[in-house]
Chain A
Amino acid sequence: MRRLLPYPLLAAALLLLWLLLQESLSPAAFVLGSVLAVACGFVFVALRLPRSGSRTLAMRFAPGRLMALAALLRDVAVEVLRSNNAVARIILQLPGARSGRSGFVVIPLDMRDPYGLAALACILTATPGTVWVDYNAARGTMLLHVLDMIDEEQWVRIVKDKWERQLMNLFE
């Protein structure tokens, strides 16, 4: 099973993608999509990606973990809405929109899992107003550029308490 389907989640996502592109649930679409999904799994084996932890499939789909994932997605959606509003106000220079200047913040991180760090980078960059710039693996610090810097301490707290804690629950 492991050799035939090395990345089951990836294969399922690819099959879903194929069915959405075809816009059909016919057996032919299923068969072709499954063949493509399994074949792409072999390509990923050839890439030799780092394995994330040693979780089994059952542990990945534990109800608690799915709930935590849903909570994270909800938080990301709320944060995207909030920061879109904030950045739009800064761009239009509405009164009282901006309380600080832009600048770089160095944030020490406790997370070491590569996939958790990648998720953190994507969340921070996808929300307008913050861009992940650099990660220093030797020191475990990241460099963040912030459009509206109130003070550095507050941004360190936001990243560590709001995102890093949730992601460490999911990935470590």
Chain B
Amino acid sequence: MMAAADLPLWAAVPVALLLLLGSGLALIGSIGLMRLGGFYDRVHAPAVVSTLGIGSVLLGSMLYFSVLQTRFVLHEILIGAFVVLTTPVTLMLLTRAALYRDRRDGSDEVPPLPDPPPRDE
């Protein structure tokens, strides 16, 4: 089932460690998503998954395929770049949407719109 029989040990050890680190961080991040209270606390948890979590899995995958095919396999960088660029945007958009909805509902958990002059959205 594994195609890794001919991978040298010096490459197999870092790949295994990177995989375990990445999936462990993904697990921690999603536990945070489940356990932290309140939306504004929970919004910090996915950042753990999508920075170091997917980053180390990508690094492990790059190392594995580069050694296995004895050439540089670099296209994992693309996923890394996309995730690094898109995660902040989605988190910001979601937080702004949540803030807008909470302000509209008159929640006292969020800071009110700065007065004067009130900004019209």
Contacts and interface: CB of A to CB of B under 8 A. Distances in A.
A126 B88 contact: yes
Contacts of A132: 88, 92, 95
Interface string A101-112: 010101000000
Contact of B44 (A134, A141, A147): A147
For the residues of B in contact with A, the DSSP-based class is helix
B18 interface: no
Interface string B77-112: 110000011011101100110010000000000110
B17 interface: no
Residues of B in contact with A, size category = 35 or more
B25 interface: yes
Interface string B14-56: 0000000000010011011001101011011101100110000
Contacts, number: 97
Contacts of B32: 87, 90-91
Contacts of A128: 44-45, 47-48, 51
A154 B32 CA distance: 25
B8 interface: no
Contacts of A81: 52
B48 A84 contact: yes
Contact of B110 (A91, A104, A125, A147): A104
Contacts of A134: 96, 99
B47 A126 contact: yes
Nearest to A103: B40
Contacts of A125: 47, 87-88, 91-92
A17 B81 CA distance: 10
A18 to B, nearest CB: 10
Contact of B92 (A104, A131, A147): A131
Nearest to A128: B47
Contacts of B96: 133-134
Contacts of A20: 74-75, 77-78
Contact of A131 (B91, B110, B117): B91
Interface of A: 17, 20-21, 23, 80-81, 84, 87-88, 90-92, 102, 104, 106, 121-122, 125-134, 136, 138-139, 141, 143, 145, 147
9 contacts: A88-B48, A90-B32, A104-B111, A125-B47, A126-B51, A128-B44, A128-B45, A129-B47, A131-B43
The 7 closest A-B pairs by CB, nearest first: A91-B32, A125-B88, A128-B47, A122-B88, A84-B52, A147-B44, A126-B88
